[in-house]
Copies of this chain bind each other. A is one copy, B any other.
């Protein structure tokens, strides 16, 4: 290995859905992006020692622990990825920053605004790289959408519609899981943050909003009889961005037929953009500047011309997938560590998302418009 490249010991807290995704990403990111920092899967932590051992073996970590504190304090662990439940994010992040270790934390940043505020404070006090795992905004397509807007290609934005819709609880007979309890595990707490982050990234800060949040199926069958669902199944909001643009959003885990309905339509004074994560390798662009008879939405297939695509494949239209988003995230985290400069979205951005979520709950309660800044 040449001098420019050096190993870095990575510790991942959690080995479930996202813990695995980050482990896989850390295994391949160096080869994909030829990063200077070359991750070594040093240690994995989980809720129990037994499960952590299983993760070590399955994902190829050097060591494991049932106590995340062991991981965070281990000297060979130089960077931390938090992929455990939202309730645990704050304590882990605070401990890591205190020890001078950079942190990438899964979304939502904290389980609520208070946690997120504390995490931002800890991050800022430490001066260390920090990042939140909003992976969907990192597809080549959505990065390109950001760029198109930033470059003024579609003019001034007049309208934004976003949705994050899935259907894993659409069938009323679907068995209850832990996702049926706890505000931060409901649709607003768990799914909405992705699309709210997209809205903020693409259009800018949200000034005010009016929201409606509800539980469609108040009980679900469980192993031992009916279970009460105490969090929300679907929600929507109307909003006003600082820029003056109007926004509309929808979030759901009961949107029958939708699997990964992370989708947005953006209209501007010179063009428009449409995107749906269910076809993540295409972005649709409409340009007023085209000859009138030839105007239409262009289905642009992502390729080497688009952000972060070329490292995966030289051929356009060959496509990236879910796992590749996490690899891009890992690359950005490594670059942030290498350069000492956080890369968007930072903890600050994660907090901004939590604030919009909190404002939505406040609005739903009050049945009124609410200023996000007031929350």
Binding site for B on A (CB under 8 A): 1-2, 5, 17, 20-21, 23-24, 27-28, 30-32, 34, 38, 57-60, 144, 153-154, 158-159, 161, 166-168, 170-172, 210, 212, 214, 216, 234, 236-238, 240, 246, 248, 250, 252, 254-260, 267-272, 274, 277-282, 284-288, 290, 292-301, 303, 305-306, 312-324, 367-369
Select A296's contact among B159, B161, B237, B298, beta carbons within 8 Å.
Answer: B298
A319 cross-chain contacts in B, Cβ below 8 A: 260, 277-278, 280, 321-322
- Does A34 lie within 8 Å of B5, measured CB to CB? no
- Does B17 lie within 8 Å of A38, measured CB to CB? no
Contacts A250-B161, A293-B144 given; indicate if A57 touches B1 (C-beta within 8 A): yes
A257 cross-chain contacts in B, Cβ below 8 A: 267, 271-272, 274, 286, 295, 297
Q: Please tell me how many copies of the chain the complex holds.
A: 4
Which of chain B's residues has its CB closest to A315's CB? B260
Q: Please give the distance in Å from A277's CB to the nearest CB on chain B.
A: 8
8 tightest Cβ-Cβ pairs between the two chains A and B = A259-B317, A321-B321, A257-B286, A296-B300, A296-B298, A257-B272, A260-B317, A320-B321
Q: Please give the distance in Å from A41's CB to the nearest CB on chain B.
A: 8
Question: In whole angstroms, what is the CA distance A303 to B279 when docked?
Answer: 13
Which of chain B's residues has its CB closest to A283's CB? B296
Q: Please give the distance in Å from A61's CB to the nearest CB on chain B.
A: 9
Q: Please give the distance in Å from A213's CB to the nearest CB on chain B.
A: 10
Q: Please give the distance in Å from A318's CB to the nearest CB on chain B.
A: 4
Contacts A20-B31, A296-B298, A305-B293 given; indicate if A288 touches B323 (C-beta within 8 A): no
